[in-house]
Amino acid sequence: MSDAGGNQTFQGALAGIRILDLSRVLAGPYCAQMLADQGAAVLKIEPPQGDETRTFGPPFVGDSAAYFFSVNRNKQAIALDLGTAAAREVLLRLLEQSDVLIENFLPGTMEKWGLGYAEVLAERFPRLVYCRITGFGLDGPLGNLPGYDAVLQAMGGVMSINGDADGGPTRVGMPLVDVVTGIHSAFGVMVALAERQRSGKGQLLEACLYDTALSLLIPHAANWLASGQVPVRTGSGHPNISPYDKFAARDGEIFLGVVNDGQFRKFCRAVGRDAWAVDARFADSRARMANRVVLRQEIEAALKDVESAELCRTLMAAGVPAGPVQSVDQALNHAHTAHRNMKVEIGGATVLGVPIKLSRTPGSVRSAPPAFGQDTQRVLAEVGYSSREINHLIADGAVLTRRKTAQRL
């Protein structure tokens, strides 16, 4: 299996690592994309109906929703109906040349197909790193239940700490639990691959959305464990730091991040309020937290007539973290976004860039997310199938080159 698009010249940090991505929607595909960005050869294996995110639109880019484009670049693609014995044999042949398998099926699905890790794959492919992503894990009171990001935000306490104090629990406006589960999974894959260099053995790693949701409760879990006080919603403010919040300037909102006494003194000087730095109510972090309401009132009065861009430039130059509250289009069109190569044109599509920058072996965006089954002929030929055999697999429905439209039950 070559790199996405058949590129044999790119040498990222993970060049030579071969990954089968059987996952759909977000956490698993995001994990696989992170590894693909760094040079791993990732083959996305879709079910007959395709990855659900191909339909999560509008907007659409060609035949697939823009959502699909956010987590599937740098991959090759085929489609298998793993409910058939012939497709399962294709998968097993692909595994002979693979280092990692990533899946996020409902627990028990791989076992139902005779492809369970403990029962089959561990013995047949002892060097395989098997990444299983689930909603709640396989056992315990909630084991084997399905899970989606927003459900886990709700159950994991994330929604309870998000939103304004006078409002109700609110979903974070991006799939935070899914994305971080994908990052955890990619980290787990790298740890398992590193350990394999010593032992020569693969292993099973598990990541679940429930664990991720709980791991995100920083510092709220630690606060509750230490004090017994249930965290409350603080809007954009911080439960332990003040002033760490958004404030209105003359022409828009800024976010002010003052995390220590030195920065507070610099802030006071920059906005012409040196008296605050020696005011006993604001002199140190503990005092500022105790008097955060009155401090906010003082800051709002001081900033209400100041132009936001000028204010942010002044504060940042003084060593005080501050920035304008921008919309998505403003953030993506910012000059620094282009400078950091975080918006990339590839194959007629625009995708986000690679956020991890390595000095000698940088990752890259090399190919747009694949069309459904676009690499079928080349991928299967690489593992020994003849053209006649490939055509027979397609005719029998074990391998698909067109998406089925019937919904998955």
Active site residues: 178
The DSSP 8-state label assigned to residue 121 in this structure reads I
143 residue type, one letter: G
Residue pair 373/79 in contact (Cβ under 8 Å)? The answer is: yes
Rounded to whole angstroms, the Cα distance separating 32 from 14 reads 12
Tokens 């627990």 belong to residue = 107
Dump the DSSP string for 282-308: TSSHHHHHHTHHHHHHHHHHHHTTS-H
**Residue 291, burial from CB neighbour count under 10 angstroms (0-12, 13-18, 19+):** middle
Tokens for 404, please give them. 């089925």
The DSSP 8-state label assigned to residue 370 in this structure reads P
Size of the chain, expressed as the number of residues it contains? 409
Neighbours of 352 (CB within 10 A): 16
> For residue 9, what are the contacts with CB-CB under 8 A and spacing of at least 6?
none
Phi, psi of 352, deg, nearest 5: -70, 155
Rounded to whole angstroms, the Cα distance separating 322 from 263 reads 11
Rounded to whole angstroms, the Cα distance separating 374 from 318 reads 53
Phi, psi of 368, deg, nearest 5: -70, 160
State the angle between helix axes of 85-95 and 387-396 in degrees (0 to 180), rounded to the nearest 10.
140
Rounded to whole angstroms, the Cα distance separating 250 from 311 reads 10
DSSP H or E run through 132? strand 129-134
> For residue 364, what are the contacts with CB-CB under 8 A and spacing of at least 6?
10, 12, 37, 74, 354
Tokens for 8, please give them. 């044999």
Dump the DSSP string for 357-407: --SSS-----SPPPPTTTTHHHHHHHTT--HHHHHHHHHHTSEESS---SP
Do β-strands 322-324 and 343-346 pair in parallel, antiparallel, or remain unpaired? Answer: unpaired
Rounded to whole angstroms, the Cα distance separating 260 from 247 reads 18
